[in-house]
Amino acid sequence: MKLIHGTNQHGTGIKSGSQFTGTVHSYLTMPATDNVVINTVNFTPGARTYWHQHEHGQILQVLAGEGVVCTDADGIRRLRAGDTVWCPPGERHWHGAAADSFMVHTAISLGQTSWAEPVTQEEYEAPKAEGDADVQ
């Protein structure tokens, strides 16, 4: 068993550059353990990840605010506090805050994460998919 006390969290810091566009505050909730890593990530308005994929998938749990998640197949879907997203193994996607809101999510990542190119402003501002109240 491994118990990670909240007060002992490390890795807290502002991230930008090779994985994120905009200002993102992230802390390592659980360092990589048995190929699972958990990050709690606070995206400022307009901030988002680069395109990327997870070797064995990823679970996102939105704790606060409003955000977006996007895949090639599904387009951009809105996220709100309480939403949960399953990103299947190897599916290219990105996630982040809405343009006018912070968004905090827990990200449970399985296996290696492979990072690709930034999400362009055009991609970020693309129309949201219909029926965006549900994430399925």
Q: Does 71 bind Mn ion (CB under 5 A)?
A: no
Closest separation in Å from C-beta 69 to Mn ion: 8
Burial of residue 16, with CB atoms counted within 10 A of its CB: 0-12 exposed, 13-18 middle, 19 or more buried: exposed
Task: Kindly tell me which of 66 and 107 has the beta carbon lying closer to Mn ion.
Answer: 107
Part of the chain binding Mn ion (CB under 5 A), chosen from 23-31, 34-42, 50-58, 122-130: 50-58
Residues 73-132 that bind Mn ion (CB under 5 A): none
Q: Does 58 bind Mn ion (CB under 5 A)?
A: yes
Closest separation in Å from C-beta 85 to Mn ion: 9
- CA triple 72-24-33, angle to 5 deg: 80
Q: Does 26 bind Mn ion (CB under 5 A)?
A: no
Distances (CA, A) of 81 to 11, 17, 42: 24, 26, 13
- CA triple 119-79-84, angle to 5 deg: 110
Distance CA 71, CA 84 (A): 15
Total residues interacting with Mn ion, rule: CB under 5 A = 1
Closest separation in Å from C-beta 60 to Mn ion: 7
Interface residues with Mn ion (CB under 5 A) are 58
